[in-house]
Amino acid sequence: MTYILGIESSCDDTSAAVLADTTMLSNVTASQEVHRKYGGVVPELASRAHQQNIVPVIHEALQVAGIPKEELHAVAFTRGPGLLGSLLVGTSFAKAFALGLDLPLIEADHMKAHILAHFIQLPAENKKVPQFPFLCLTVSGGHTQIVLVRDYFEMEIVGQTIDDAAGETFDKAAKIMSLPYPGGPVIDKLAAAGDPDRFPFPHPQAKGFDYSFSGLKTSFLYFLRDSLKNNPHFIDENKEDLSASLQKTIISILMHKLTLAAEHYGINQIAVAGGVSANTGLRRAMQQAQADKGWETFIPPFSFTTDNAAMIAVSGYFKYLQKDFTTHSAAPYTRGGIG
């Protein structure tokens, strides 16, 4: 049995997890409430909160797992992409921890890790995992990608957003409606009580398997501005229908390109990952596609949709098997990642 400690600190969640091979023994996350009142993540505050959270989070992860730190085989950490100040906290801690215990250090790519979260097993679980090659729609606050996954580490982005990410579109639309941050879960909840066909919004075009969302955001903004001229209470009176219509449009844009990619590559193993994969409508659309298109779909449990360290630890496990270790000079990277 190989015990890996995973550390994730790329954005605003401080997380630590312990895995025994691919089985999750613990996954502890401290979320940062401090950003809520600013309507978005404030990098400097995130970095400071990580510094406060990291020791107790790691302590708890080891305690819940029941694994003394001396029994660990390696430490895996998120090297990037993410916010520099946030990444520095996890990276520095991982290095110091590994040095102190004479453990190998393993770097993980945050976006690849979101995909590899599909390989995490819960204790006493024998969940079916995607077969290679598979396609993964990776949708978060900062990314929207269709990734061709050939192997645990051989991944190719075959389509991606040329402007805003899907999560960012949810968040910006919520901000326009004066809803709290992060807007994705709020819109999801409101959409459940709304009519998705009430307001038709455009599907911005992008070539190949790429996405574009900025035109949708702009037309949503202009539509609300015009409607508010006639009725100052328009948003309040229609927020459920607005949310449902916007959500339906985003999902339809996501699923359209994913379907084209699946047909092009002749792949029927289709996964979804990242924060937006928590969206009820997107999860339903994936299940529907399984029935309609003959796909075998993989939808992560809610706890693995948003940022977590279990996905970093499982990435670390696969690298550990290959003895793919990192030197202590590895500096965080803020952009890029897969490919």
- The residues in 259-318 that bind ligand KG4, with binding defined as CB under 6 A, are 274-276, 278-279, 306-307
Secondary structure of the chain in the HEC alphabet?
Answer: CCEEEEEECCCCEEEEEEEECCEEEEEEEEECHHHHHHCCCCHHHHHHHHHHHHHHHHHHHHHHHCCCHHHCCEEEEEEECCCHHHHHHHHHHHHHHHHHHCCCEEEEEHHHHHHHHHHCECCCCCCCCCCCCEEEEEECCCCEEEEEECCCCCEEEEEEECCCCHHHHHHHHHHHCCCCCCHHHHHHHHHCCCCCCCCCCCCCCCCCCCECCHHHHHHHHHHHHHHHHHCCCHHHHHHHHHHHHHHHHHHHHHHHHHHHHHHHHCCCEEEEECHHHHCHHHHHHHHHHHHHHCCEEECCCHHHCCCCCHHHHHHHHHHHHCCCCCCCCCCCCCCCCCC
Nearest approach, Cβ of 36 to ligand KG4 (angstroms)?
12
With CB under 5 to 8 Å by kind, the binding choice for 215 among Zn ion, ligand KG4, none is none
Rank residues 140 and 277 by Cβ distance to Zn ion and give the closer one: 140
Nearest approach, Cβ of 42 to ligand KG4 (angstroms)?
15
With CB under 5 to 8 Å by kind, the binding choice for 194 among ligand KG4, Zn ion, none is none
Rank residues 104 and 275 by Cβ distance to ligand KG4 and give the closer one: 275
Question: Which among 26-34, 36-44, 57-65, 140-148 is the span making contact with ligand KG4, rule CB under 6 A?
Answer: 140-148
Question: Residue numbers of the site for Zn ion (CB under 5 A)?
Answer: 140, 307
Nearest approach, Cβ of 28 to ligand KG4 (angstroms)?
16
With CB under 5 to 8 Å by kind, the binding choice for 332 among ligand KG4, Zn ion, none is none
Binding site for ligand KG4 (CB under 6 A): 11, 140-142, 167, 170-171, 182-185, 188, 274-276, 278-279, 306-307
